[in-house]
């Protein structure tokens, strides 16, 4: 239990961010028309692709002889990028369909 | 400088998500979030410093970004509108795998020098959490993808939920044990938890019915968000944290909203009314149904006052939205009032039908939501059902033993006559019989939705 408290104390700022983000996420999403559920899910899917930043850091800190870290990190960068790029492009394609309705 | 970039990135995520929840601004919101993401990635590559040292292995990083970018771009561009949900699921799985891999590498990094690391318990806890959640999300998403494109069938057996819960309990206990006591067999235990997480991810999604996949994907989506946030803790990185947690909480709410649209609780979806209701879903005797020909259908529709079209997945598969719009204009020109009744979960994802019909230039005010449509069926002469099944199944209202009992449906049986276009008498996605097809006022019009619609149009133009 003590370890948990000391961990929270050391990461107090991050803990603030977590708690505020939770409420923010709930607040931002409530009252979405059901038509937008899928694009929204897809957009959120692209945003959690931010994990790519972790992959880049892992990759960039791996030493040259550590092949395991290099290979896994490389894979992580590829997968993360697919998530980000694919996610945003797919969302845009879905929303494109809605736009044609608006202009009409 | 970099922290400033991360701040901008975090703000764009929040603004982007907010704008995504409004139809008018959604597309711009997506672009803004994408811009923030690009900024954060570039900033990390060029400005990241750890203990005064920048990153190296630039060749690997750039190659990875290019390879991933090209794969992502091509697959996202090529995928058909009907296959969109499974694509999203697959992308989500990639993100989960990415988070898990980061944890694996970081674990390998610190495994040798456990004693020297300050705050080792907390660090290990975060690494394990990221690995477990990421892996579950990855395995679950791949299964969800397979289910949506029909490669994997629903599999459930007695006691599956108990097994799942036990696996989960073992995962949690092992993690606590490792993080608290730092045992010498730590590498083996890490591997064991990894394997168990894979198994859990697979078993978690396997019994859930295909029709509930959008809900599951949304849930896994928020899992991946949390896994990304673990990375934020690991690297003291605020943008990973905001992005991850934001998706985690927004995704959870979205999941609950989706469940509400189907009038079911999340628990009900996860514990699997679909998978577990084998006893209630015994195949009953098929009654007799009556068929109707093309020319009869054409006559009935052309001389009706009001026609309600109920689109479903069959319309999407056949890409029949344009033919459908053509029929609508033709009928309207003859003075028939044509409306579309859109069930919130018609098709394979919420909003699926709206997207397809919008693509075919169907006017927005002709699309009725479920409540509106249900108020109008009793003044409707003909209901034309195009490849929809479960969303018009009266068993949802009348048969408590039915797996879809409690789901709100389009009450088409209140109309004067119902014409159902299907390819065959096969049951719909939930795998259950539909009594509607055997009711006296219902007639079946078999065939591919697009061909049937085109033939109907030709029939009306030529002979009436």
> What are the Cα distances from residue B297, in Å, to B306, B328, B419?
14, 14, 8
Q: Is B125 in CB contact (< 8 Å) with chain A? A: yes
Which residue matches tokens 């990304």? B228
Sort out which chain B residues have CB atoms less than 8 A from A65's CB and list them: none
The domain of B407 spans 294-463
Sort out which chain A residues have CB atoms less than 8 A from B77's CB and list them: 89, 93
> What are the Cα distances from residue B439, in Å, to B63, B393, B443?
61, 11, 8
CA nearest neighbour of B114 among B185, B195, B196, B55: B185
Region B430-441 average pLDDT: 80
Q: Is B252 left (phi over 0), alpha (psi -120 to 50) or beta?
A: alpha
**Cβ(B413)–Cβ(B436) below 8 Å:** yes
**Cβ(A28)–Cβ(A63) below 8 Å:** no
For residue B378, with 0-12 CB atoms within 10 Å meaning exposed, 13-18 middle and 19 or more buried, which class applies? exposed
* ipTM associated with this complex: 0.90
- Regarding whether B270 and B156 lie in a shared domain, the answer is yes
Give the minimum alpha-carbon distance from B256 to chain A in angstroms, rounded to a whole number.
Answer: 10
Number of H helices, E strands in chain A: 5, 0
Answer whether residue B392 is part of any domain: yes
pLDDT, tens digit, 9 for 90 and up, residues A41-75: 999 999 999 999 999 999 988 888 888 889 999 99
Q: Is B85 in CB contact (< 8 Å) with chain A? A: yes
DSSP label at B285? P
- Residue B41 token pair: 């990635």
Answer whether residue B239 is part of any domain: yes
**Cβ(A40)–Cβ(A94) below 8 Å:** no
Our CA dihedral for B201, B203, B206, B207, rounded to 10 degrees, sits at: -130
pLDDT, tens digit, 9 for 90 and up, residues B127-139: 999 999 999 999 9
Q: Which residues between 31 and 90 in chain A have a beta carbon less than 8 angstroms from any beta carbon of chain B?
A: 31-62, 64, 68-70, 72-90
Nearest to B261 among A22, A34, A82 (CB): A34
Give the minimum alpha-carbon distance from A2 to chain B in angstroms, rounded to a whole number.
Answer: 11
Answer whether residue B129 is part of any domain: yes
Q: Which of B16, B30, B46, B316 would best serve as a mutation to test chain A binding (most A beta carbons within 10 A)?
A: B30
Local confidence band at B370 (pLDDT 50, 70, 90 cut-offs): confident
Which chain A residue has its CA at the smallest distance from B34's CA? A88
Backbone angles phi, psi at B443, to 5 degrees: -125, 150
Residues 6+ apart with CB under 8 A from B73: A85, A86, A89
Nearest to A83 among B98, B249, B359 (CB): B98
Start-to-end CA span in chain A (Å): 61
Q: Is A12 in CB contact (< 8 Å) with chain B? A: no
Give the CATH number of the domain where residue B351 resides. Answer: 3.40.50.1220
Nearest to B245 among A22, A34, A79 (CB): A22
Sort out which chain B residues have CB atoms less than 8 A from A85's CB and list them: 68-69, 72-73, 76
Region B63-89 average pLDDT: 89
Sort out which chain B residues have CB atoms less than 8 A from A100's CB and list them: 358-359, 361
- Regarding whether B313 and B374 lie in a shared domain, the answer is yes
Distance CA B349, CA B328 (A): 24
Answer whether residue B210 is part of any domain: yes
- Regarding whether B356 and B252 lie in a shared domain, the answer is no
- Regarding whether B454 and B308 lie in a shared domain, the answer is yes
Res A102 pLDDT > 60: no
Region B201-206 average pLDDT: 91
Distance CA A90, CA A85 (A): 9
- Regarding whether B412 and B383 lie in a shared domain, the answer is yes
Distance CA A50, CA B36 (A): 10
Local confidence band at B279 (pLDDT 50, 70, 90 cut-offs): very low
The number of domains in chain B is 2
pLDDT given at position B287: 66
- Regarding whether B210 and B155 lie in a shared domain, the answer is yes
DSSP states of B119-183 as a string? Answer: THHHHHHHHHHHHHHHHHHHHHHHHHHHHHTTSS-----TTHHHHHHHHHHHHHHHHHHHHHH--
Answer whether residue B215 is part of any domain: yes
Q: What's the gap between Cα B64 and its chain centre? A: 28
Q: Do B68 and A85 touch (CB under 8 A)?
A: yes
- Residue A1 token pair: 């239990």
Sort out which chain B residues have CB atoms less than 8 A from A43's CB and list them: 16-17, 20, 26, 29-30, 33
- Regarding whether B302 and B268 lie in a shared domain, the answer is no
Q: Do B23 and A44 touch (CB under 8 A)?
A: no
Give the minimum alpha-carbon distance from B30 to chain A in angstroms, rounded to a whole number.
Answer: 6
Distance CA B270, CA B265 (A): 9
Q: Is A23 in CB contact (< 8 Å) with chain B? A: yes
Q: Is B137 in CB contact (< 8 Å) with chain A? A: no
Answer whether residue B43 is part of any domain: no
Q: How many CB atoms lie within 10 A of CB B366?
A: 16
- Regarding whether B248 and B110 lie in a shared domain, the answer is yes
- Regarding whether B256 and B129 lie in a shared domain, the answer is yes
**Residue A77: how many CA atoms within 13 Å on its side-chain side?**
25
**Cβ(B16)–Cβ(A87) below 8 Å:** no
Region B390-412 average pLDDT: 81
The Cα diameter of chain B in Å comes to 87
- Regarding whether B339 and B234 lie in a shared domain, the answer is no
Answer with the one of B276, B307, B333 that is the final residue of a domain: B276
Which chain B residue has its CA at the smallest distance from A69's CA? B105
Answer whether residue B112 is part of any domain: yes
Q: Is B224 left (phi over 0), alpha (psi -120 to 50) or beta?
A: alpha
Res B167 pLDDT > 50: yes
Q: Do A46 and B232 touch (CB under 8 A)?
A: no
- Regarding whether B214 and B326 lie in a shared domain, the answer is no
Answer whether residue B57 is part of any domain: no
In what order do the strands lie in the sheet containing B382-386?
B367-369, B337-342, B306-311, B382-386, B417-422, B442-446
For residue B205, with 0-12 CB atoms within 10 Å meaning exposed, 13-18 middle and 19 or more buried, which class applies? buried
Res B274 pLDDT > 60: no
Q: Is B106 in CB contact (< 8 Å) with chain A? A: yes
Q: Is B261 in CB contact (< 8 Å) with chain A? A: yes
Local confidence band at B320 (pLDDT 50, 70, 90 cut-offs): confident
Nearest to A58 among B54, B97, B105 (CB): B105
Start-to-end CA span in chain B (Å): 73
Q: Do B358 and A43 touch (CB under 8 A)?
A: no
pLDDT, tens digit, 9 for 90 and up, residues B36-51: 999 999 999 999 888 7
Annotated catalytic residues of B are: 390
């Amino acid at each position: 239990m003590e370890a948990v408290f000391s961990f929270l104390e050391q990461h107090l700022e991050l803990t603030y961010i977590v708690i505020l983000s939770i409420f923010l996420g709930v607040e931002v999403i409530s009252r979405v028309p059901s038509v937008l559920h899928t694009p929204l899910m897809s957009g959120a899917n692209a945003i959690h692709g931010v994990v790519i930043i972790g992959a880049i850091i892992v990759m960039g800190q791996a030493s040259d002889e550590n092949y395991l870290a290099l290979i896994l990190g490389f894979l992580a960068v590829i997968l993360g990028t697919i998530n980000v790029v694919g996610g945003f492009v797919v969302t845009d394609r879905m929303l494109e369909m809605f736009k044609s309705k608006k202009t009409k | 400088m970099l922290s400033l970039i991360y701040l901008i990135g975090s703000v764009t995520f929040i603004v982007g998500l907010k704008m995504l929840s409004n139809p008018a601004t959604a597309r711009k919101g997506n672009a803004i979030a994408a811009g923030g993401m690009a900024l954060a990635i570039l900033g990390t590559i060029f400005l990241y410093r750890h203990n005064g040292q920048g990153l190296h292995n630039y060749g690997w990083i750039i190659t990875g970004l290019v390879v991933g970018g090209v794969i992502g771009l091509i697959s996202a561009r090529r995928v058909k509108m009907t296959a969109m949900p499974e694509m999203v699921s697959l992308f989500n799985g990639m993100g989960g795998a990415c988070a898990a891999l980061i944890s694996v590498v970081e674990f390998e990094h610190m495994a040798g020098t456990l004693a020297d690391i300050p705050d080792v318990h907390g660090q290990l806890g975060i690494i394990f959490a990221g690995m477990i959640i990421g892996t579950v999300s990855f395995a679950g998403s791949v299964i969800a993808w397979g289910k949506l494109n029909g490669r994997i069938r629903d599999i459930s057996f007695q006691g599956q939920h108990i097994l799942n819960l036990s696996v989960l309990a073992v995962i949690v206990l092992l993690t606590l044990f490792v993080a608290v006591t730092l045992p010498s067999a730590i590498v083996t235990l890490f591997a064991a938890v990894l394997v168990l997480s894979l198994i859990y991810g697979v078993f978690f999604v396997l019994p859930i019915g295909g029709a509930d996949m959008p809900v599951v994907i949304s849930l896994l989506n928020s899992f991946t968000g949390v896994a990304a946030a673990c990375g934020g803790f690991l690297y003291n990185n605020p943008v990973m944290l905001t992005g991850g947690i934001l998706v985690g909480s927004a995704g959870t709410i979205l999941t609950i909203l989706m469940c509400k649209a189907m009038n079911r609780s999340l628990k009900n979806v996860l514990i699997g009314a679909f998978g577990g209701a084998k006893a209630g879903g015994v195949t009953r005797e098929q009654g007799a149904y009556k068929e109707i020909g093309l020319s009869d259908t054409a006559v009935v529709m052309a001389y009706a006052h009001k026609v309600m079209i109920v689109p479903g997945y069959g319309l999407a598969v056949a890409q029949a939205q344009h033919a459908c719009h053509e029929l609508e204009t033709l009928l309207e020109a003859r003075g028939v009032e044509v409306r579309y009744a859109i069930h919130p979960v018609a098709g394979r994802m919420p909003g699926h039908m709206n997207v397809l019909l919008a693509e075919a230039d169907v006017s927005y005010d002709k699309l009725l939501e479920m409540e509106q449509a249900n108020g109008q069926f009793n003044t409707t002469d003909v209901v034309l059902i195009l490849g929809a099944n479960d969303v018009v199944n009266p068993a949802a209202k009348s048969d408590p033993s039915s797996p879809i009992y409690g789901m709100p449906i389009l009450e088409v049986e209140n109309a004067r006559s119902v014409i159902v276009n299907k390819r065959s008498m096969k049951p719909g996605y939930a795998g259950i019989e539909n009594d509607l097809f055997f009711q006296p006022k219902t007639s079946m019009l078999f065939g591919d939705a697009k061909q049937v619609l085109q033939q109907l149009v030709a029939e009306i133009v030529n002979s009436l």
